[in-house]
Structures are given as C-alpha cells and as structure tokens.
C-alpha cells in the first residue's frame, strides 16, 4: 500500500506515527531494544495517549543484523513464513553509552543516536552504508489496517538491484515495486516470482522478512 502523496505529503486517509527520539535502550547478551516515542518526552504527562515504536536489533549470523519493528506486539504470526538460518551463538559486541548504543556483528554495526533526534546508522567499519532518520521508521494507521513503515537513505550514485523476477528496468531506483505474485503476463509491472530482497552497489543487502503483500 502506498502512503505518500507525492514526496512531502501523506495521503488524506492515513495517519503516520514516527519516533522522534530514543527514550530508552535495553540490552542483553544477544540483543539491543530501543523504545521510540512519537513525541518528545520532557515530563511524565507527555507519555499519555502516546504511540510507541519498539525496535529490536540482534544478529542471526556474522555480518548480518536483524531489525524487528513492533507496535502492539502479541497478535498471531502470519503464515507461511520464511525459514531464517540462525547461528547458535553469534559473537556480538554490544555497547550502551550515554550518547549512543551500538550492536556489532562481524564487520557490520548498527548505531543508535541517543542524545539527539531519531537516527539509526548501519556501518561497515567506519563507513556508513545507510541510515534511517527523520520519518524513516514508523507505523501507519489506514482504513484497511495497520502497517510498518521504513525508509532507508540512498547515497549519491547508489543503485538498487534485485526483488526477484521483474520485467521493469534492471536498476530499481525510482520504481514502486508491489511484492505479490501475480499472473499478469510478462512485460508488465507484475511478476510471478517476487523475492523481498534487494542489494545496492554500496555493498549491502536488505531482506524484508514478511510473507504478506509488501511495497518497496
């Protein structure tokens, strides 16, 4: 489902909720959980009737970071689902500092800004691969249901490839890809073999672990 009206505006029948800053970070030996309110909390009263996004970072294997977004977690999981290989004891480095929190899996690190506005960076060493900043991550209420929203930054000259069998241009930049298997014929925007995975020439890939209809 498409939520935006052009680039700057949202469609009239949707209500987006985006975290504005990190309120709290919890860590354990295998994960880092971040709580992002959709309004800046300066006093106890600010938390009344306020939506909250929960983001859990972990790693199923070296050089891979799993990102799980929750709002009203607890409903029955949709099936079927993708089987994800998970290493029994991945070697993680987790740091929770006053200004930022990081989780490192192999050469890949996710860094969460705690001191300022909402910002999440994914890094290979010191090089930023992509980021999720203002209005990037969140959830959206619509007349037909609730949806998770994520928008990762693309760098200058960065090209996107993948998403399974497609009959549109090879480079996916600027395209809206509806990930749902359809018998629409070749040479159309529909495809028989959609795969929710893309990669870019900046050296990283993104797999969307969601078996239902998705829009990229």
Residue 189 φ/ψ, nearest 5 degrees? -80, -10
Name the pTM for this structure. Answer: 0.90
> Which of helix, strand or coil describes residue 47?
helix
Tell me the pLDDT band of 117, cut-offs 50, 70 and 90.
Answer: very high
- The total number of residues written for the chain in this structure: 216
Query: What percent of the chain has pLDDT above 70?
Result: 96
Give how far Cα 44 sits from Cα of 33, 41, 48, 50, 69, Å. 21, 7, 8, 11, 24
Whether pLDDT at 8 is above 90: no
Please give the pLDDT value at position 108.
96
For 54-74, write each residue's pLDDT tens digit: 999 999 999 999 999 988 776
Q: What is the pLDDT of residue 53?
A: 93
User: Using an 8 Å Cβ cutoff, are 105 and 59 in contact?
Assistant: yes
Check: CB of residue 68 under 8 Å from CB of residue 55.
yes
Position 216 scores a pLDDT of: 67
Measure Cα distances from 82 to 77, 79, 211 in Å. Answer: 12, 9, 7
Look at 1-5, 51-55, 182-186 and tell me which has the smallest mean pLDDT. Answer: 1-5
| pLDDT score at 96 | 96
Residues of the chain with CATH 2.60.40.1760: 1-151
Express each pLDDT in 83-102 by its tens digit.
887 776 678 999 999 999 99
CA distances (Å), origin 73, targets 54, 151, 153:
9, 21, 27
Architecture in CATH for domain 1-151: Sandwich (2.60)
- Measured in Å, how far apart are the chain's first and last C-alpha atoms? 9
């Amino acid at each position: 489902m498409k939520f935006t009206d052009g680039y700057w505006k949202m469609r009239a029948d949707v209500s987006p909720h985006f975290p504005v800053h990190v309120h709290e970070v919890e860590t354990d030996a295998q994960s880092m959980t971040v709580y992002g309110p959709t309004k800046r909390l300066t006093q106890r009263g600010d938390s009344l009737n306020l939506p909250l996004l929960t983001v859990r970072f972990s790693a199923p294997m070296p050089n891979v970071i799993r990102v799980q977004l929750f709002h009203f977690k607890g409903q029955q999981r949709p099936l079927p689902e993708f089987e994800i290989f998970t290493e029994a004891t991945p070697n993680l480095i987790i740091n929770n500092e006053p200004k930022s929190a990081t989780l490192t899996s192999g050469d890949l690190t996710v860094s969460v800004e705690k001191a300022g506005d909402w910002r999440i960076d994914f890094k290979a060493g010191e090089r930023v691969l992509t980021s999720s900043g203002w209005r990037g991550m969140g959830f959206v209420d619509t007349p037909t249901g609730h949806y998770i929203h994520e928008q990762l930054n693309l760098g200058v000259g960065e090209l996107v490839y993948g998403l399974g069998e497609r009959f549109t241009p090879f480079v996916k930049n600027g395209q809206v890809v509806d990930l749902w298997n359809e018998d629409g014929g070749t040479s159309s925007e529909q495809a028989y073999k959609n795969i929710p995975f893309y990669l870019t020439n900046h050296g990283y890939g993104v797999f969307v672990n969601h078996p239902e209809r998705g829009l990229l």
